[in-house]
Structure formats: structure tokens, C-alpha cells
Structure 1
Amino acid sequence: MRAEPGLRLAAVAAVLGGLAVALGAFGTHGLADAVTPERLTTWRTSAQYHLVHALAAVGAGVFAGRRGSAVALWAARLFVAGVVLFSGSLYALVLLDLGVLGAVAPLGGLAFMAGWAALALALWREGTAVD
């Protein structure tokens, strides 16, 4: 039996999805009285983007695994990298109160955008492929 990178990455992304739910709940219940309303909004934005892109990474990873699409595999990787860079830096910014960490978030945003572009390309190629 051979390991499929796309499906392994989808499994990692599924774990990221569960983590997004847990971190979102932590923000709502554990941070509400501990941080400023602005920081709480930052946390919620981070959790929202985290969850959406974890789901996108699951989908791209499954697509890559089932169709053998290297471009979809890259899309999944970029979504995971975006979660780490964008959401991770914003979570750290809120917890550590280090504004400089906000400078990392745009790199995650770029990874998200590149992931969506790669996924669009993979789907376009699949839709125009001749069997």
C-alpha cells in the first residue's frame, strides 16, 4: 500500500479544522474578558480564516489524492501554509500582545490567494482534460 500525499495532507487539514473550532471557542469563552475588543475581533478573524482554509485544504488534498493533481496538492500546501502564517501570527499577536507579529499575516494572505489560484487552475485543467 502506497501513501498518498494529497490524502495525508487532507488528514492534516482536517486536524487543522478541528483546531480552528477549538481556538474559536477559546477566543469566545477564554479571552472575552482578558483582551481588548479589538484583539478579540482579530482572534475571531483569525479563527474564521483558519477554519475556511482548513476546509479548502481538505478539499484540495482529496482532489489531489483522487485525481493525481500536483497543482491541487500545491493548493492544499499553500492553504496550510496560509493558516500557519496568517492565523498563527494573529493568534500569537493576541496572546503575546506583540504588534510586530501582524506583519507576518500578509504573507499568509498571499499564500491563501496563491492557494485559491492553484486550486482554480487544477479544477480548470480537470474540466478541460480529455479522457
Structure 2
Amino acid sequence: MDKRFLFPAAVSGFLAVAMGAFGAHALKPLLSEHGVDIYKTAVNYHMWHSLLLALIALLPPHKLLNLVAILLIVGIVLFSGSLYLLAIFEIHWLGMITPFGGLAFLSAWGLLIWISKPGKP
């Protein structure tokens, strides 16, 4: 187990729940339907990747798992963070940042596939 990533996973999961509740109760009446959809996407990806980060923290240490965890954190900040800001403040150029977060997520998942593929020592 690598506890270095358990704390950021717990904080991230907490924030995902808080952002979801904030969106459902405080923001929903203020956002357009499109804004609500964007916000829900941010919360959804935020929570799933927080859970994966927690799982990574519970696995036996592996040097490449550290990179997976870092990519997940970067992905959460860039992908979900940019979508939260886009939905709330309607700053449309933030949409250009979102794909970089998606690439971080894809890189993390791809690296996890590489680490866990059958037949690897």
C-alpha cells in the first residue's frame, strides 16, 4: 500500500461529493440545461477517478503506479476543474483545457493496462 496517494484520493472524493451536492442544490437553478450537463460530467469523472486513485493507493507499491496516480490528479484538475469553471462562469476558452485532462486520464488508464497485462512479471 502506498499511503502517499490515499490522502489526495480522500480529499478528491470529498470534493467530488461536495461539488455534486453544491451543483444539485445551489447551482442547478442558476445554470442552463447545457451548464448542468457539463457540471454533471465534471462530477462524474471527478468521482470515478478519485475512486481509482484510492484503489491505486491501496495496491502494492510500483514505480509506474506513482505515475498513474499523478496522471489521475492532473486529469481531475484539468478535466473536471475546467468543466466546473466552464459550467459556472461560462468562460468558453476553458473548453480548450479539458482535452488535456482527458489525455491525462487516458494515459493513466493506458499505463494501468500496461502494468497489469497478463504475463508481465
Note whether the superposition's TM-score is higher than 0.5: yes
Deviation at 1:128, TM superposition (A): 2.9
Alignment of 1:1-131 (within 5 A): 6-63=2-59, 66=60, 68-124=61-117, 128-129=120-121
Gaps of 5+ in 1: none
Q: Which runs of 4+ in 1 moved over 6 A?
A: none
Sequence identity (%): 36
- Structure-2 separation of matches of 1:51 and 1:91: 13
CA deviations on 1:42-83 (whole Å, 9 max, x unpaired) are 0000000000001111112322xx2x3111111111111100
**How many residue pairs were aligned?**
121
Q: Which has the higher contact order (CA 8 A, sep 6+)?
A: 2
CA deviations on 1:83-130 (whole Å, 9 max, x unpaired) are 0000000111122210110110000000000000111122227x632x
Q: Looking at CA atoms only, which structure, 1 or 2, has the larger radius of gyration?
A: 1
CA RMSD, Structure 1 to Structure 2 (Å): 1.5
Gaps of 5+ in 2: none
Confirm or deny: 8 A CA contact 1:90 1:105 kept in the other structure: yes
| Structure 1 counterpart of 2:76, one-letter code | V
Could you tell me the TM-score, scaled by structure 2's length? 0.92
Deviation at 1:19, TM superposition (A): 0.7
